[in-house]
Structure 1
Amino acid sequence: MVQDGMTWLLNPPEQNLPLILADGGFDVWIANTRGTRYSCRHTSLQPNEPGFWNWSWDEMVVFDLPAVFDYVYSQTGQKAHYVGHSLGTLIALASFSEGLLVDKLKSAVLLSPIAYLSHMNTALGVAAAKVFAGEITTLFGLAEFNPKGEPVAKFLKALCDYPGVDCYDLLTSITGQNCCLNASTVDLFLKNEPQSTSTKNMVHLAQTVRDGVLAKYNYGNPNFNVMHYGEAKPPIYNLSNIPHNLPIFISYGGKDALSDVRDVELLLDSLKLHDVDKLTIQYIKDYAHADFIMGVNAKDIVYNQVVSFFNHQR
């Protein structure tokens, strides 16, 4: 969401998933989320124009992820395995449910998956979701949500003053208590991240927290929704539409405050009709949200399983 593809490469080469996969003979492509530093170009708009930021994760579902798959397919002529973490799992699940990507997809690995967010329990995240659900655009008038810019920094400082919110350890206050991070890697992470996203995207995520369903962006007015969707309420992404024979590997953590265990169980319930032999579930009791990307033992606990899963699909 507010991270680019560099986050996958913060651990040493022998401990980060892209290079482990490359060493295993896989052709690895790393995508960047729109709005982050390597994904700020547009055919006609500049990042200083509000129109550049007029999108939410719906656009990633319909345009961005399919464009990545189309490009990789055009270069390789092969279906791809997909790995997503956090927002990367949300947009993948929504895309699969809409019948997108599946013709160019071999299998999918979803680490710390987010589809439902009702039980998210980070104090900072809950406070932010409440504010964003009140349509923060009216507070800011900002199209770009830049965590390192002065207006957003002031907003975050105000959130950190909320009762029960402790921002002393910013990463923990967002992700939960990670078990297995190296301090120097965290320092590197905080130098590079967080990066910009659209304010509209933050509002959409807050709606997902508040409404308890996976739905398209709610314009806040039934008439506006009718204009965009032909109906007064935004359409739901129906995860049970995901092809039941698509090989999926899901790994989630017991200490994850963003991808809460109860929300993952809701996701798994929506996949209950999935072919049993096509769904692999891994539960890691001590892991929180960032451990899946930067954990010093992620190679042994998660990545070796991912490589084995992909090799099984070859």
Structure 2
Amino acid sequence: MVPMLLKFIQFNISSLLLNVFIYPSVSSVIIENLPPPENPFFAKEQKLLNPFRTTLNQALTCGQLIASRGFQFERHFVTTVDGYILQFQRIINPYAKAARGRSLKPILVIHGAPTSCSSFMINGPGGHIQEWINGNPPNDTSKSLAFALANREFDVWLGNNRGTTYSLNHTSLNPYKDRQFWDFTFVDMAMYDIPAMVDYMIQETGHEKIVWIGYSQGAILMPVLLAKYPEFAHKLDLNINVAPIAFYGDPNGIANLVPRARFLLKIASIYQGPVIPFLPVLDAITSILCTSNILNPICFEIYNYLFGPDRPMVSRDQIKELLSQVDQTSFKNALHVLQSINFDQIREYDYGPLKNLQLYGSIEPPVFPFENIPTYNLVLISGLNDYLAPPKNVQKLRNILRGPPLVDYVVPWPLWSHTDILLADEAFYLMHNVIIEIIRKYGEDIEVSL
């Protein structure tokens, strides 16, 4: 009875909102010559969204986005020590493969939350595969990071952390029936997901090391892992962190208004599941509504005051694409983020004084010792107008490190915001090209002095 009621509510809310808010229109964007969606959540969203689609990238799956630019792709799966089955999308560039073979530098790119691998492929219609001339990569200037890398001498792997719609499998737990499936935070991703992905890539590619690129939540994971296990850095040619978040206190904008009280712990004890229920319906509705002439300016301003306003660099049209690609994470993970804002320096999950004492031996959850992070292959990339990783928080990370990073790049554009790597018009010149040149200059084995 309850499932039928939920479906009835979803259907009627969808119909009501579409009829009330959307100006009459028929989509002129048709999905042609693309493989079927490999993700059932986004397959449902596409059915809802297709009549109102205004751009190709809206709600396409990672595989469809890759194919839409002329690349091929492979899906790979790896099982973590604690039983989560994670999915990679590996971009295959036949031109690069023919020119360089297995010598292509393997790169693992990890998304922020709540998104997935798709977030690195939705910036503009460009980024199509290009031929190599005389064994040399093309001078592609794609605004999407994944395609800018894939058109060059790199073997690009796009990871998906546990709980996203691409990584919803487990060896024994059912995400729809077992609450324990959702009993995780970014600490579990750091300790289990990242080692599993990196080790799998090393085995699959035959390289001794890979290049890591973590963005937003992805830039939390590697610092947390290395704070506890600094020796893991030996598996990385480069440890690139974009919008690094080791200190979360004092964010700007809307994030600073989010409640952080302990009563949220009670909610977590009652509800243990995904933070965004009815995901396909929600994504479709928000993407469609934020396309309308009435609501688009409101959506754009909310976006600006959440991530940092960069109106000259990010267009209103991009917001609907980002909204159509919102993905899942656990409620517990979202709560851990709120706790981190309260504590400033990221700590273990706060269960409350009694359970903390049992688990950690202290009333307060212990901080992660970020001073342990090796700096010989560490790359920090940050922005001056990033509301979630503001300059003062990035400076706290610099201050705690035992030495300067190998590269510490601050984007010179004064309005560079948290999501500009995903949506900015000049993302290639201010971000992607910088990353490419850093990898080319420092991406080989670095001599380490211990």
TM-score (norm: length of structure 1) = 0.86
Query: What corresponds to 1:109 in structure 2?
Result: 240
How many percent identity over aligned positions?
24
For 1:12-48, what per-residue CA distance to the aligned partner results, in whole angstroms no more than 9, with x for missing partners? 3122112211222111111112211101111111112
- The correspondence of residues 231-250 of structure 1 with structure 2, limited to 5 A, is 231-245=362-376, 247-250=377-380
Amino acid across the alignment from 1:88: G
Q: 1:129 to 1:274 in 2, by over 3 A?
A: farther
Query: What corresponds to 1:25 in structure 2?
Result: 153
Between 1 and 2, higher relative CO (CA 8 Å, sep ≥ 6) is seen in 1
**Structure 1 residue 110, shift from structure 2 partner:** 1.4
- The correspondence of residues 174-193 of structure 1 with structure 2, limited to 5 A, is 174-179=306-311, 180-193=313-326
Aligned with 2:260: secondary structure? helix
For 1:184-243, what per-residue CA distance to the aligned partner results, in whole angstroms no more than 9, with x for missing partners? 3321111121x221111112111111012221111112x312332344332221111012
Query: What corresponds to 2:26 in structure 1?
Result: none
**Structure 1 residue 6, shift from structure 2 partner:** 0.5
**Structure 1 residue 137, shift from structure 2 partner:** 4.2
1:300 counterpart (429, 442, 447): 429
Matched, 1:80 2:210: yes
Amino acid across the alignment from 1:309: I
1:90–1:114 contact (8 Å) kept in structure 2: yes
Tell me the distance in 2 between the aligned counterparts of 1:241 and 1:146.
32
Query: What corresponds to 1:171 in structure 2?
Result: 303
**Structure 1 residue 302, shift from structure 2 partner:** 1.1
Q: 1:45 to 1:178 in 2, by over 3 A?
A: farther
1:244–1:274 contact (8 Å) kept in structure 2: yes
Query: What corresponds to 1:35 in structure 2?
Result: 163
Matched, 1:93 2:223: yes
**Structure 1 residue 129, shift from structure 2 partner:** 4.1
**Structure 1 residue 292, shift from structure 2 partner:** 1.6
**Structure 1 residue 275, shift from structure 2 partner:** 4.6
1:97–1:242 contact (8 Å) kept in structure 2: yes
1:5 counterpart (114, 117, 120): 117
Query: What corresponds to 1:257 in structure 2?
Result: 387
CA RMSD of aligned residues (A): 2.2
**Structure 1 residue 96, shift from structure 2 partner:** 1.6
1:80–1:104 contact (8 Å) kept in structure 2: yes
Alignment size in residue pairs:
293
Q: 1:69 to 1:306 in 2, by over 3 A?
A: same
Larger Rg: 2
Aligned with 1:206: secondary structure? helix
Aligned with 1:89: secondary structure? helix
1:135–1:203 contact (8 Å) kept in structure 2: yes
**Structure 1 residue 97, shift from structure 2 partner:** 1.5
1:114–1:259 contact (8 Å) kept in structure 2: yes
Query: What corresponds to 1:229 in structure 2?
Result: 360
Aligned with 2:357: secondary structure? helix
TM-score (norm: length of structure 2) = 0.61
Tell me the distance in 1 between the aligned counterparts of 2:404 and 2:250.
27
Amino acid across the alignment from 1:212: D
**Structure 1 residue 130, shift from structure 2 partner:** 2.4
Tell me the distance in 2 between the aligned counterparts of 1:51 and 1:67.
20
2:275–2:334 contact (8 Å) kept in structure 1: no
Tell me the distance in 1 between the aligned counterparts of 2:315 and 2:403.
37
Tell me the distance in 1 between the aligned counterparts of 2:441 and 2:151.
17
Tell me the distance in 2 between the aligned counterparts of 1:95 and 1:215.
12
Q: 1:226 to 1:23 in 2, by over 3 A?
A: same
User: Is there any run of 5+ residues in structure 2 with no aligned partner, and where?
Assistant: 1-112, 128-141, 283-297, 445-450
Tell me the distance in 1 between the aligned counterparts of 2:228 and 2:437.
28
Query: What corresponds to 1:158 in structure 2?
Result: none
**Structure 1 residue 63, shift from structure 2 partner:** 0.5
**Structure 1 residue 279, shift from structure 2 partner:** 3.0
Amino acid across the alignment from 2:305: S
**Structure 1 residue 85, shift from structure 2 partner:** 1.0
**Structure 1 residue 136, shift from structure 2 partner:** 4.9
1:178–1:289 contact (8 Å) kept in structure 2: no
Q: 1:210 to 1:167 in 2, by over 3 A?
A: farther
Aligned with 1:84: secondary structure? strand
Amino acid across the alignment from 2:114: V
Aligned with 1:30: secondary structure? strand
Matched, 1:282 2:410: yes
Tell me the distance in 1 between the aligned counterparts of 2:269 and 2:325.
24
Q: 1:237 to 1:170 in 2, by over 3 A?
A: same
Query: What corresponds to 2:199 in structure 1?
Result: 70
Query: What corresponds to 2:330 in structure 1?
Result: 198
Query: What corresponds to 1:207 in structure 2?
Result: 339
Query: What corresponds to 1:309 in structure 2?
Result: 438
